[in-house]
Structure 1
Amino acid sequence: MIEIKNIAKTFGDRQVLAGIDGSFQPGETSLVIGGSGTGKSVLLKCMIGLVTPDEGEVLYDGRNFLTADENTRKAIRREMGVLFQGSALFDSKNVFDNVRFPLDMLTQMSEDEKADRAHASLQRVGLENAEQRMPSEISGGMKKRVGIARAIVMNPKYLFCDEPNSGLDPLTSIKIDQLIKEITDEYKITTVVITHDMNSMMEIGEKIMFLFEGHKLWEGNSDTLAHSDVKELNEFIYANKLLRELERK
């Protein structure tokens, strides 16, 4: 389980996060939603250690990541898998080497063990026949799947996905959502997804946190999302639906 308590962050004179609390459970796909500039990506960066909050706690199964000693922080990092918004693949490495990279950097596994683990991760996302291809030779959806394979190759307890559907067509977005949900259920991972995609909210939003101007204004799930009495959330949902309709035309 991941718990965040009173997370606050200010850049200059702009408060980006204002006392955010929440918890994320194993085997559950949790979404953090909101418009651009609402603080959701900064919250994720605070959770994985790329940004240090001004206040608050980030607890991984009771371990405070922010105040832990370096050995504990390294241990927690090894339990994380991260899918970055742009997939963040190495252009000079083929698909297989991209997926194996965390094993090379963070483990003492033998070459055979690393190869077996990378093969298994790529097979899990349906890319076992693309191992020798370069990132420039595959589609955006395939790049996302490579990113997911790399994120799970360490058998993480915690999976973070930053806008996994960014730049994808609606059908491919659905497939990526389904894959994230399946992996979360299958491995009982604690998954946190940063998104503004309406389909994701309705299809995989077992728990949803809505941020607006750095504040958490609402929390619920996909079943209660459409029945909110929070004006800012309803406006966000309407704008998202309108954008989807325009994209279909």
Structure 2
Amino acid sequence: MIEIKNISKSFNGRQVLDNVSGVFKKGETSLVIGASGTGKSVLLKCMLDLVRPEAGTTLYDGRDFYVGDEEDKKDIRREMGVLFQGGALFDSKTVHENVQFPLDMLTKMGEGEKKDRVEFCLHRVGLDGTGSRMPSEISGGMKKRVGIARAIVMNPKYLFCDEPNSGLDPLTSIKIDELIKEITDEFDITTVVITHDMNSVLSIGDNIMFLYKGKKLWEGNSQTILGDTVPELEEFVFCNKALSLMRAGK
């Protein structure tokens, strides 16, 4: 479980996050949604300690991520997997080498053990036989799958996905959503997804946090979001649902 408490962050006097709190439960796919500029990505960076908030804290199963020595933080980081927007693969490394990278950096596993783990993760995301390819030789959807394989190669307790459907066609987006949900359920991971994709919201949103101008304005799930009457949420849902239909050619 991840708990964020009263997170506030500003840049150059502009309040980006304002007293945001919430709980992301183990085994659930939790979504943070909102329009561009509402603080979604900054919240993710605060949770990963890439940006330090002026106030508040993030707890990983009760462990405060902002206190303690560097070794304590490394222990928590080893339990994290991150799917970056765009995949963020190393162009000069093969698919296999990209997935193996966290094992090389953070573990003392032998080469055979690392090879087995990488092949298992590539198989789990449906990419058997692609290990020798370069990122330039695979599609955008495959790159996202490689990113997911790399994110789970350390067998994480916490999985973070930053706009996993960015740049993908609707059908591929659905497949990526399904894969994230399957992995969350199968490995009982605490998963946090940053998105504005309404298809994701309606299909995999076990828990949904809606940010508006840096504040948490609403919280619910995929069953309750369409029936809520918060005006800012209604506008977000309508605009993004219409955009999704346009992209799907409907």
What TM-score comes out, normalization by structure 1 length?
0.99
Aligned partner letter, 1:31 = L
- Structure 2 partner of 1:209: 209
After TM superposition, which residue ranges in structure 1, 4 or more long, deviate above 2 angstroms?
A: none
Question: Following the alignment from structure 1 to structure 2, what is the Cα–Cα distance between the partners of residues 68 and 80?
Answer: 18
- Structure 2 partner of 1:47: 47
- Structure 1 partner of 2:141: 141
- Structure 2 partner of 1:3: 3
Residue range with higher mean Cα deviation, 64-73 or 202-211:
64-73
Q: Unaligned regions of 5+ residues in structure 2, if any?
A: none
Q: Deviations over 1:172-216 (max 9, x none)?
A: 000000000000000000000000001100000000000000000
- Structure 2 partner of 1:200: 200
Question: Following the alignment from structure 1 to structure 2, what is the Cα–Cα distance between the partners of residues 8 and 248?
Answer: 37
- Structure 1 partner of 2:167: 167
- Structure 2 partner of 1:72: 72
Q: Taking every aligned residue pair, what percent have the same amino acid on both sides? A: 70
Task: Give 1:241 deviation, angstroms.
Answer: 1.4
Aligned partner letter, 2:162 = D
Task: Give 1:129 deviation, angstroms.
Answer: 1.3
- Structure 2 partner of 1:157: 157
Could you say what secondary structure the match of 1:211 adopts? strand
Task: Give 1:68 deviation, angstroms.
Answer: 2.4
- Structure 2 partner of 1:16: 16
Question: Following the alignment from structure 2 to structure 1, what is the Cα–Cα distance between the partners of residues 89 and 223?
Answer: 35
Task: Give 1:98 deviation, angstroms.
Answer: 0.2
Aligned partner letter, 2:188 = K
Question: Following the alignment from structure 2 to structure 1, what is the Cα–Cα distance between the partners of residues 242 and 205?
Answer: 20
Aligned CA-pair RMSD: 0.6
Task: Give 1:156 deviation, angstroms.
Answer: 0.1
Q: Deviations over 1:10-61 (max 9, x none)?
A: 0011100000000011110000000000000000000011111111010000
Could you say what secondary structure the match of 1:200 adopts? helix
Q: Deviations over 1:138-157 (max 9, x none)?
A: 00000000000000000000
Counting matched residue pairs gives 249
- Structure 2 partner of 1:124: 124
Aligned partner letter, 2:196 = H
Q: Unaligned regions of 5+ residues in structure 1, if any?
A: none
Task: Give 1:246 deviation, angstroms.
Answer: 2.1
Question: Following the alignment from structure 1 to structure 2, what is the Cα–Cα distance between the partners of residues 12 and 112?
Answer: 49
Question: Following the alignment from structure 1 to structure 2, what is the Cα–Cα distance between the partners of residues 168 and 61?
Answer: 33
Task: Give 1:242 deviation, angstroms.
Answer: 1.6
Question: Following the alignment from structure 1 to structure 2, what is the Cα–Cα distance between the partners of residues 197 and 176?
Answer: 12
What TM-score comes out, normalization by structure 2 length?
0.99
Aligned partner letter, 1:180 = I
Question: Following the alignment from structure 1 to structure 2, what is the Cα–Cα distance between the partners of residues 242 and 10?
Answer: 32
Question: Following the alignment from structure 2 to structure 1, what is the Cα–Cα distance between the partners of residues 113 and 45?
Answer: 31
Q: Is the 8 A contact 2:199 2:244 kept in 1?
A: no
Could you say what secondary structure the match of 1:168 adopts? coil
Could you say what secondary structure the match of 1:89 adopts? coil
Question: Following the alignment from structure 2 to structure 1, what is the Cα–Cα distance between the partners of residues 74 and 204?
Answer: 30
